[in-house]
């Protein structure tokens, strides 16, 4: 073998292996969540809001900066019809320059500055909550696709069982042991199983495309999801969760900060309209750009408002409306807290009932598996008809699908409960999960 042949053989195999590795890409949950967070457009919009509010907070003292203006003017003044008529000369020209500084102070400024800080904190809270929601949605889709993949495996097994039964019935029919109707029914079972598998594959492929699009991955990439739906019984007391985790919910925190913002706005409005205000100003001007003909002036003005104290005035009504907004915000907080408590109690109750459904589904699957094995033995011995075997196979398939669905539903409830108490779902399982008897 020549050196050239060895070279081609070695690198040919190398690129072949590399192509196979690229064709089979594996994706875990953590990587999927990170990709979704990186490609989510709403999160990028939130980044812009955070940057803007952060810049305002960083430069919050600019609210106290004075107003500075520089002016330049030029013109002329001359008779038009009287005297010598229109004349344009140095005597008729007027040029001037000036600088003015004005500083206004009122008692409402500290509350305005506090609201600027609250606005940035609200954007940060909104961003973190949005990230958590994206993470939960991706987690649900990830494990839903895994459950669909497991269902495909089940349907392939059902198709293989139906195909084997059809082949046995064909042999038995040729030997005169079964009727032609049994063969036709077996063939129909095969076609039904094949159709169910094909429909499930199409749904799985479409759902996978949508999932990959959310991650910024091309639809033609061959992705294998790594993971399995592991169900752990959750034993959590609703009142304990409410007492320990309710105050940290993003919607509760946001409602409380909204009340604080409205209170600051009310104080700002009240002090700005009712409290005395101080205005300091300085002006320097020069005519004909000559520093020896300049003028300087300074003014301090104290304003004492009177009309806001008059009942029924527009400014007095503005203050009253601000008080009403605060009361409405407090009622909104109470509504949000009651709704959150109801949600947590409902999820805890649903988890308990759903776990009972899982136990029933597991017993049902065990019974269906045993029933199918016994029915298959009877069919082989000739004591059971093919239709009875088909019913047993369908019962076994239904029992497995029911268990898949109930386990996935239970897992989604865990994710919903983790969102309701603002807790990472893995920490929720670790904190309130009951170890299985196998462990």
Phi/psi zone of residue 70: left (φ > 0), alpha (ψ -120 to 50 degrees), beta? beta
Q: Residues 108, 268: contact at Cβ < 8 Å? A: yes
pLDDT digits (tens, 9 = 90+) for 218-258: 877 788 899 888 889 999 899 999 999 999 999 999 999 99
pLDDT digits (tens, 9 = 90+) for 312-354: 777 677 777 888 899 999 999 999 999 999 999 999 999 999 9
CATH 1.20.1600.10 fits 24-95+106-280+308-434, yes or no: yes
First CA to last CA across the chain, in angstroms?
A: 58
Q: Residues 45, 131: contact at Cβ < 8 Å? A: no
Neighbours of 392 (CB within 10 A): 22
What gap in Å lies between CA 318 and CA 227, rounded to an integer? 58
What gap in Å lies between CA 140 and CA 419, rounded to an integer? 12
Those residues of the chain that have pLDDT short of 70 are 1-24, 75-93, 288-293, 315, 436-439
Own/partner pairs for 180-184, CB < 8 Å, 24+ apart? Answer: 182/385, 182/386, 182/387
What's residue 168's pLDDT? 83
DSSP letter string over 11-64? HHHHHHHHHHHHHSEEE-HHHHHHHHHHH-HHHHHHHHHHHHHHHHHHTGGGGG
Q: Closest Cα partner for 29 from 175, 228, 222, 210? A: 228
Cα separations in angstroms, 232 against 40, 58, 352, 416, 436: 30, 46, 12, 15, 7
Q: Where are the domains of the chain?
A: 24-95+106-280+308-434
What's residue 436's pLDDT? 66
Q: Does pTM surpass 0.75?
A: yes
Q: Which residue has the tokens 């004349």?
A: 87
């Amino acid at each position: 073998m020549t050196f050239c042949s060895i070279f081609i053989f070695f690198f040919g195999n190398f690129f072949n292996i590399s192509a196979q590795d690229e064709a089979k890409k594996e994706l875990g949950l953590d990587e999927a969540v990170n990709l979704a967070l990186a490609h989510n457009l709403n999160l990028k919009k939130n980044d812009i809001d955070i940057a803007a509010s952060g810049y305002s907070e960083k430069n919050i003292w600019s609210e106290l900066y004075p107003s500075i203006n520089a002016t330049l003017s030029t013109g002329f003044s001359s008779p038009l019809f009287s005297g010598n008529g229109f004349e344009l000369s140095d005597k008729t020209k007027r040029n001037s320059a000036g600088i003015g500084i004005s500083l206004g102070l009122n008692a409402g400024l500290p509350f305005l500055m506090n609201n600027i800080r609250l606005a940035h904190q609200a954007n940060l809270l909104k961003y973190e909550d949005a990230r958590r929601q994206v993470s939960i949605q991706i987690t649900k889709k990830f494990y839903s696709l895994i459950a669909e993949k497991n269902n495909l495996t089940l349907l392939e097994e059902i198709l293989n069982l139906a195909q084997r039964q059809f082949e046995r019935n064909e042999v038995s029919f040729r030997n005169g042991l079964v009727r032609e109707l049994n063969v036709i029914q077996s063939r129909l079972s095969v076609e039904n199983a094949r159709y169910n598998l094909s429909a499930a594959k199409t749904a799985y492929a479409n759902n996978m495309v949508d999932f990959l699009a959310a991650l910024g991955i091309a639809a033609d990439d061959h992705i294998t999801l790594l993971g399995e739906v592991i169900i752990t019984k959750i034993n959590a007391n609703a009142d304990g969760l409410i007492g320990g985790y309710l105050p940290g919910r993003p919607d509760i925190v946001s409602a409380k900060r909204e009340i604080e913002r409205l209170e600051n706005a009310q104080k700002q409005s009240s002090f700005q309209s009712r409290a005395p205000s101080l205005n300091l100003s300085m002006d320097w001007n020069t005519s004909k750009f000559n520093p020896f003909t300049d003028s300087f002036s300074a003014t301090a003005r104290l304003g004492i408002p009177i009309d806001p104290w008059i009942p029924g005035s527009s400014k007095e009504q503005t203050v009253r409306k601000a008080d009403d907004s605060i009361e409405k915000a407090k009622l909104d907080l109470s509504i949000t807290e009651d709704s959150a408590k109801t949600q947590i109690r409902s999820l805890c109750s649903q988890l308990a009932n759903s776990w009972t459904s899982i136990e029933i589904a597991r017993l049902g699957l065990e019974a269906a598996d045993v029933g199918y094995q016994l029915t298959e033995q009877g069919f082989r011995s000739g004591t059971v008809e093919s239709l009875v075997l088909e019913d047993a196979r369908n019962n076994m398939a239904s029992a497995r699908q029911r268990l898949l669905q109930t386990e996935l539903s239970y897992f989604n409830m865990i994710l919903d409960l983790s969102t309701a108490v603002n807790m990472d779902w893995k920490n929720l399982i670790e904190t309130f999960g009951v170890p299985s008897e196998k462990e």
